[in-house]
Amino acid sequence: MPETTGTAAPLIELDHASQVFHVKGEDLPAVSEVSLSVDQGEVLCLVGESGSGKTTTARLAAGLAAPSSGAVRYRGRDLAEMSRAERREYRRAVQYIHQDPYASLNPIRSVRGTLSIPLRRHGLARCAADVDARVDELLSTVDLTPPESYSAKFPHQLSGGQRQRVSVARGLTLSPKLLIADESTSMLDVSIRVSLLNMFTRLRKEDGVGFIYITHDLALAKYFAWEGRTAVMYLGRIVEVGPTPQIIANPQHPYTRALLEAVPEPDPELAARKKAGGGLLSAEIPSLAALPTGCTFHPRCPLAEDRCRASVPQLLPAPGARQDVACMVVTDPADPAAPAEAASGAGGGRP
């Protein structure tokens, strides 16, 4: 689906990957037929509510789970068919940063201990002096300076933002090519979140690290992935994907528009213009155990038509826009009098 740049295989690629969880005898399709790719130095944002499958998708890309069907490929090699050595190379190249800095650090280990284990294990530091030098370097990279005042600390002595930085530093120990950062329900202060994003951008531009960033806030996606792409997910499917500026300024899918409407604006004048409830018919996301028929978004969709209940829409190029969208009403308007204009009117807040 998303065009791969150049001829070489992309860094990471999900090819019609699906993940079905079996819970209490029920099949929960957490991710259905997701295809996406990210190359070195690229950034992709996965946006959606909790339950949209964005975290599961990221975990598939990170090799933390194997897809029930479809494939996940690293440089063109299917993860499931990798040799031990290839797997090790993949493991070093792709790292995942957990969203909860309070749970992702081992409480019994100092910062130095946390960072030195992977360094030693992978032979990246031979002696204590090497380890110290590398730990200091990593801590400086994540703006924990001066490093000496942090390396001996334990997680409970650090603030949430500092823990998150240590967590990122640990992800960087093996010099990865792709970082997957999950901030879908971040409780961190706004300022801390911004400084992390600025740090990520620096890593991307200076070291060519690719990023998959997971959030529920399109304002963050806009800021972080302006030069990259954004994929909006709903109940396990990508409903809209394309260059971020396009998604933000000219959203096509009614769900994307609702997400944009919902973002609180740091400006009282703009805030007053927001539409109640993001223009959705219902605030509650349906359960994966009882998915609506056809387009799973139809019960909440202000544009829903009869055919939306009948068949699942395919991800297709939106007419007059540069992104792909999975909405028949947009891609195949039955009534030629009501094309994408109805869509763009509500989006973005500004023309």
Partner 1 sequence: MPTSPRTPAPAPARDARSAPVLSVKDLEVAYRTGRDQSVRALRGVSFDLHPETSLALVGESGCGKTTLGLALLRLLPTLGEITGGSITFTGDDGRAREVTDMTPAQLRRWRWSEAAMVFQGAQNAFNPVLTVGAQMADTLRDHATGRLGRREIHERSAEALRSVRLEPRRVLGSYPHELSGGMKQRALIATGLLMHPRLLVLDEPTTALDILTQRTVIDLLAELREEFGFAMIFISHDLALAAELADRVITMYAGTVVETGSTADIFSSPRHPYTSKLINAVPPVSGDLAELASIPGAPPSLATLPPGCAFAPRCELATDECLAAEPPLIPLVERPADMTHAAACIHHDQVHHERKVIARA
Partner 2 sequence: MTATSSPVPAEQAVPTPSRSSAVSPLRRLFGELTRSTSGFVGLCLVLAIVLLSVVGPVLIGTSVPGDPARAWEAPSARHWLGLEGAGKDTLHLLVIGGRTVLMVGFLAATITTVIAVAIGSLAGYFGGRFDALMLQLTDIVMTVPQIVLLAVVGAFYKLDSPTLLAIIVGVLSWPVLMRSIRAQVLSLKEREFVEAAQLLDVGWVRIVFGEIVPNMASYILINFIIAVTNAIYAMVGLYLLGLAPQRGTNWGIMINDAWTKGAMFNPDAMPYIIAPVTMIVLLQLGLILLTRTLEEILNPRLRDR
Instruction: Tell me how far apart the alpha carbons of residues 101 and 275 are, in angstroms, rounded to a whole number.
Output: 34
Instruction: Tell me how far apart the alpha carbons of residues 174 and 96 are, in angstroms, rounded to a whole number.
Output: 12
Helix (H, G, I), strand (E, B) or coil at 57: helix
Residue 207 touching partner 2 (CB under 8 A): no
Q: Are strands 210-215 and 43-47 parallel, antiparallel or unpaired?
A: parallel
Residue 276 touches which member of partner 2, partner 1, none, C-beta under 5-8 Å by kind: partner 1
Measured in residues, the chain has a length of 351
Instruction: Tell me how far apart the alpha carbons of residues 168 and 130 are, in angstroms, rounded to a whole number.
Output: 20
Piece of the chain touching partner 1 by CB under 8 A; list 14-22, 73-81, 147-155, 283-291: 283-291
Taking the least distance from each CB to partner 1, the nearer of 14 and 321 is: 321
Residue 215, C-beta contacts closer than 8 angstroms, at least 6 positions apart: 45, 46, 47, 183, 184, 186, 221, 224
Between the CA of residue 325 and those of 79, 258, 291, what are the distances in Å?
28, 15, 20
Minimum CB distance to partner 2, residue 279 (Å): 34
49, 183, 240, 324: which one binds partner 1 (CB under 8 A): 49
106, 175, 287, 293: which one binds partner 2 (CB under 8 A): 106
Q: Which ranges of 152-232 does DSSP label H, i.e. alpha helix? A: 160-172, 190-207, 218-224
Minimum CB distance to partner 2, residue 82 (Å): 13
Which pair of tokens denotes residue 218?
A: 């399109």
Minimum CB distance to partner 1, residue 157 (Å): 12
Contact 254/343 with Cβ under 8 angstroms? yes
Residue 55 touching partner 2 (CB under 8 A): no
Q: Are strands 210-215 and 178-182 parallel, antiparallel or unpaired?
A: parallel
Residue 134 touching partner 2 (CB under 8 A): no
Instruction: Tell me how far apart the alpha carbons of residues 224 and 163 are, in angstroms, rounded to a whole number.
Output: 21
Residue 223 touching partner 2 (CB under 8 A): no
Residue 332 touching partner 1 (CB under 8 A): no
57, 167, 215, 244: which one binds partner 2 (CB under 8 A): 167
Taking the least distance from each CB to partner 1, the nearer of 249 and 342 is: 249
Which pair of tokens denotes residue 136?
A: 């200091």
Minimum CB distance to partner 1, residue 158 (Å): 10
Taking the least distance from each CB to partner 1, the nearer of 16 and 202 is: 202
Residue 155 touching partner 1 (CB under 8 A): no
Residue 194 touching partner 1 (CB under 8 A): yes
Contact 229/177 with Cβ under 8 angstroms? no
Taking the least distance from each CB to partner 1, the nearer of 59 and 216 is: 216
Q: Which stretches of the chain bind partner 1, using CB under 8 A? A: 49-50, 159-161, 185, 187, 189-192, 194-195, 197-198, 216-220, 222-223, 226, 245, 248-249, 258-274, 276-278, 280, 283-285, 348-350
Residues that bind partner 2 (CB under 8 A): 62, 64, 88, 91-92, 95-96, 98, 100, 103-109, 117-118, 121-122, 156-157, 167, 170-171, 173-174
